């Protein structure tokens, strides 16, 4: 969480920093601040709350013209959101911004206070500034190296020293940091969209390296302080992809991008025919006997769908794990085990910890990741990119459906390799994968219907989702989406579990969305649906066109285009994303930046 930026070049640093921070606001929006380095004179402006507050303050502050500076958008961890706790933080000659958490800050703070240092904020970050100033004699690199040895935790830092005019020092550990390289200008950021308006070329900063940015140029030192030459990468994302392009919210734009994103995810992998699906990326999988599918939030929900596809097509036992639980559990890894790690950002702290755990135990990791060059992508043995393009809204939509699509292709590849799926069945699924983008367009064409349903149920106190098998997995995701952005209470239940407790919550008028994409389970789901109907629930039934019942036992219906049911969950989630979106809009919540959340969860 938290986003950091830095700039050195020929344009106004403040303008770049503000624009960059706006692109990173999805990482946290409790406060924002910038500091410019104007020939050694460092001026800091920061404000609690959204970027508008900072912009208002900046309009009043007579900021000197500066071409070098750093900025921060905060998701509060240590210390409430306030002006004082906002970044940048300063101590003596040092001013810096930080993304991450310093776990031993209390001990370090006490130590420094005993030496007479006075702290002004409650943040862990201020400890870094104080330590740097404490160790700084006349060599910034030495001070940084010494300071880092005293810190435990995660950090991406951009640092200014008041006696080093127009220079920024950047380092990282367990938090992302990329360095954009334009013509005579250098941008520092937690994520590429922050500088896509300037350049698509970037360096990935490795742990232990120090970047020294000055006068629009950058030098890198390795962990021993030697100059190093780094590879320049080029982002495949476009500037427009990280813009709203006329949509009211990023989430709405990103849902409308689902057909395109599915195409980008699926088509390059199926282009050479069924026998070559994922062939280049997923070679030599014969030794796999068991898969641990791990992720957080929606990524974990995608994993639930992956499990049912892989088990049914490839007959490989899978367990789906919540990363934050798995990392502290006792995984009984054995020969033939592999971890499938799913993450949009590729930076989620708990998922990253699972990657490290697997590596320590010698278990191979297959990562399904959206952000190219992210920590998880770099650390995994095999990376299957989702190709969904930048996703800015906190609530994931297109990245989630792309993750599921990758898992389906993986299931098919594994099934074909193991001969556990018949040729005929494999061809049916292959065809269905091909049709997905077009069918997703059809689903989106009913947007006004989803909007109407959202308006109908907008004032409900609770909303339940029920389904069986893969439909339960869709329920989990639909429910998360709704509560995450509209703040309406919602739960997802395996339809057969209702009568073991939850059904007592059903009373007159409570909306229940019942999902039925699986023919074999349909009658059972309908029985459960009738049970809630009999207790006064308002039922919204979701099923494919060919399964619309003759008898109208529901209050509302979401009709999905027909497609092979093995891939139908990808279509089934889109109306639920839309309903969540319009419910949030109707209830007046901040759709793209829901309260208390951040998109990239880089803390435990």
**Which pair of structure tokens corresponds to residue 77?**
């961890």
Toward ligand M6R, which CB reaches closer, 58 or 597?
597
Q: Which of the ranges 8-16, 81-89, 294-302, 416-424 carries the binding residues for ligand M6R, by CB under 6 A?
A: 294-302
Angle between helices 447-457 and 568-586 (to 10 degrees): 50
- Residue of the chain from 174, 484, 542, 592 that contacts ligand M6R (CB under 6 A): 484
Toward ligand M6R, which CB reaches closer, 42 or 580?
580
Report the alpha-carbon distance of residue 117 to residue 110 in Å, rounded.
9
Active site residue 593: no
- Residue of the chain from 351, 486, 518, 566 that contacts ligand M6R (CB under 6 A): 351
Toward ligand M6R, which CB reaches closer, 144 or 302?
302
Report the alpha-carbon distance of residue 66 to residue 118 in Å, rounded.
29
Binding of residue 492 to ligand M6R (CB under 6 A): no
Binding of residue 348 to ligand M6R (CB under 6 A): yes
Toward ligand M6R, which CB reaches closer, 121 or 600?
600
- Residue of the chain from 168, 316, 395, 567 that contacts ligand M6R (CB under 6 A): 395
- Residue of the chain from 387, 601, 602, 603 that contacts ligand M6R (CB under 6 A): 601
Q: What is the dihedral of CA 486, 492, 495, 498, to 10 degrees?
A: -100
CB of 372 to ligand M6R, least distance (A): 13
Active site residue 530: no
Residue nearest to ligand M6R (CB): 297
Tell me the three state secondary structure of residue 449: helix
Report the alpha-carbon distance of residue 323 to residue 513 in Å, rounded.
28
CB of 585 to ligand M6R, least distance (A): 16
Tell me the three state secondary structure of residue 539: strand
Query: Would you tell me how many other CB atoms lie within 10 Å of the CB of residue 455?
Result: 14
Query: Would you tell me how many other CB atoms lie within 10 Å of the CB of residue 381?
Result: 14
Tell me the three state secondary structure of residue 591: coil
Going by C-alpha positions, the residue among 526, 528, 522 that lies closest to residue 493 is 528
**Which pair of structure tokens corresponds to residue 163?**
């006696």
CB of 317 to ligand M6R, least distance (A): 24
- Residue of the chain from 190, 285, 396, 490 that contacts ligand M6R (CB under 6 A): 396
Query: How are the residues of the chain apportioned to helix, strand and coil, as percentages rounded to the nearest 5?
Result: 40, 25, 35
Provide the mask over 26-65, with x wherever binding to ligand M6R is found by CB under 6 A and - wherever it is not: ----------------------------------------
Binding of residue 299 to ligand M6R (CB under 6 A): yes
Toward ligand M6R, which CB reaches closer, 308 or 600?
600
Residues 119/185, Cβ–Cβ less than 8 Å: no
Q: Which of the ranges 337-345, 409-417, 430-438, 444-452 carries the binding residues for ligand M6R, by CB under 6 A?
A: 337-345
Report the alpha-carbon distance of residue 400 to residue 503 in Å, rounded.
29
CB of 205 to ligand M6R, least distance (A): 20
- Residue of the chain from 291, 394, 429, 488 that contacts ligand M6R (CB under 6 A): 394
Binding of residue 4 to ligand M6R (CB under 6 A): no
CB of 600 to ligand M6R, least distance (A): 6
CB of 351 to ligand M6R, least distance (A): 5
- Residue of the chain from 344, 387, 401, 583 that contacts ligand M6R (CB under 6 A): 344
How does DSSP classify residue 499? G
Query: Would you tell me how many other CB atoms lie within 10 Å of the CB of residue 344?
Result: 29
Report the alpha-carbon distance of residue 537 to residue 534 in Å, rounded.
7
Task: Give residues with Cβ within 8 angstroms of 390, minimum separation 6.
Answer: 192, 193, 237, 241, 242
CB of 191 to ligand M6R, least distance (A): 11
Binding of residue 365 to ligand M6R (CB under 6 A): no
Toward ligand M6R, which CB reaches closer, 154 or 396?
396
Give, for 159, the enclosing helix (H) or strand (E).
strand 153-161
Q: Catalytic pick from 23, 307, 593, 599?
A: 599
Q: Catalytic pick from 2, 68, 296, 318?
A: 2
CB of 1 to ligand M6R, least distance (A): 10
Q: Which of the ranges 61-69, 344-352, 378-386, 417-425 carries the binding residues for ligand M6R, by CB under 6 A?
A: 344-352
Give, for 488, the enclosing helix (H) or strand (E).
none
Residues 170/186, Cβ–Cβ less than 8 Å: no
Toward ligand M6R, which CB reaches closer, 375 or 566?
375
Toward ligand M6R, which CB reaches closer, 77 or 298?
298
Report the alpha-carbon distance of residue 443 to residue 560 in Å, rounded.
7
Report the alpha-carbon distance of residue 21 to residue 60 in Å, rounded.
19
Binding of residue 340 to ligand M6R (CB under 6 A): no
Binding of residue 298 to ligand M6R (CB under 6 A): yes
Report the alpha-carbon distance of residue 558 to residue 249 in Å, rounded.
24
Q: How far apart are the first and last CA of the chain?
A: 10
Query: What are the residues facing 168 on neighbouring strands?
Result: 213
Q: Where are the alpha helices (DSSP H) in 419-500?
A: 423-444, 447-457, 470-486
Toward ligand M6R, which CB reaches closer, 46 or 256?
256
Active site residues: 2, 599
Residues binding ligand M6R (CB under 6 A): 296-299, 343-345, 348, 351, 394-396, 480, 484, 600-601
């Amino acid at each position: 969480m938290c986003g950091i930026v830095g700039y050195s070049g020929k344009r106004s640093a403040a303008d770049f920093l503000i624009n960059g921070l706006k692109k990173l606001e999805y990482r946290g929006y409790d406060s924002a601040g910038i500091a410019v380095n104007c020939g050694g004179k460092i001026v800091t402006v920061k404000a609690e709350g959204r970027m508008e507050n900072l912009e208002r303050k900046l309009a009043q502050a007579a900021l000197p013209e500066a071409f070098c500076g750093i900025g921060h958008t905060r998701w509060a961890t240590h210390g409430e959101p306030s002006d004082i706790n906002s970044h940048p933080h300063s101590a003596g000659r040092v001013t810096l911004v930080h993304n991450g958490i310093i776990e031993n800050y209390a001990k370090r703070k006490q130590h420094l206070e005993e030496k007479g240092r006075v702290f002004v904020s409650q943040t862990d970050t201020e400890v870094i500034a104080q330590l740097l100033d404490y160790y700084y004699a006349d060599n910034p690199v030495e001070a940084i190296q010494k300071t880092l040895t005293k810190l435990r935790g995660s950090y991406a830092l951009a640092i200014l020293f008041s006696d080093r005019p127009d220079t920024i020092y950047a380092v990282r550990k367990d938090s992302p940091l990329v360095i954009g390289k334009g013509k005579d200008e250098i941008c520092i950021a937690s994520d590429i969209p922050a500088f896509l308006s300037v350049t698509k070329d970037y360096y990935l900063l490795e742990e232990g390296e120090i970047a020294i940015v000055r006068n629009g140029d950058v030098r890198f030192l390795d962990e021993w302080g030697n100059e190093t030459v780094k590879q320049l990468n080029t982002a495949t994302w476009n500037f427009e992809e990280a813009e709203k392009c006329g949509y009211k919210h990023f989430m709405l734009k990103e849902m409308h991008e689902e057909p395109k994103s599915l195409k980008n995810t699926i088509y390059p992998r199926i282009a050479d025919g069924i026998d070559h699906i994922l062939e280049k990326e997923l070679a030599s999988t014969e030794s796999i006997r068991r898969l641990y599918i791990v992720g957080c939030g929606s990524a974990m929900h995608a994993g639930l769908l992956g499990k049912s596809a892989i088990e049914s097509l490839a007959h490989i036992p899978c367990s789906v794990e919540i990363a934050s639980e798995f990392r502290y559990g006792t995984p009984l890894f054995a020969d033939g085990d592999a971890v499938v790690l799913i993450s949009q950002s590729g930076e989620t702290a708990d998922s990253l910890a699972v990657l490290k755990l697997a590596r320590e135990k010698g278990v191979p990791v297959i990562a399904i990741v959206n952000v190219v060059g992210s920590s998880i992508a770099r650390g995994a043995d095999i990376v299957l990119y989702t190709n969904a393009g930048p996703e800015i809204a906190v609530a994931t939509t297109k990245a989630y459906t792309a993750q599921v699509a990758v898992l389906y292709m993986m299931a098919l590849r594994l099934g074909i390799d193991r001969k556990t799926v018949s040729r005929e069945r494999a061809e049916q699924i292959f065809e269905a994968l091909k049709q997905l983008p077009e069918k997703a367009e059809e689903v989106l064409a009913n947007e006004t219907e989803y909007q109407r349903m959202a308006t109908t149920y907008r004032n409900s106190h609770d909303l339940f989702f029920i389904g069986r098998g893969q439909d339960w997995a869709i329920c989990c995701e639909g429910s998360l989406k709704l509560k995450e952005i509209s703040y309406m209470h919602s739960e997802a239940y395996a339809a057969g579990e209702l009568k073991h407790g939850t059904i007592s919550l059903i009373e007159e008028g409570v909306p229940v969305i019942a999902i039925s994409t699986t023919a074999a389970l349909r009658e059972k789901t309908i029985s459960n649906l009738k049970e809630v109907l009999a207790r006064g629930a308002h039922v919204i039934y979701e099923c494919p066109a060919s399964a619309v019942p003759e008898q109208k036992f529901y209050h509302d219906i979401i009709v999905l285009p027909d497609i092979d049911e093995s891939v139908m969950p990808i279509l089934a989630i889109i109306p639920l994303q839309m309903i969540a979106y319009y419910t949030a809009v109707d209830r007046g919540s901040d759709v793209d930046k829901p309260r208390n959340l951040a998109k990239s969860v880089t803390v435990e």
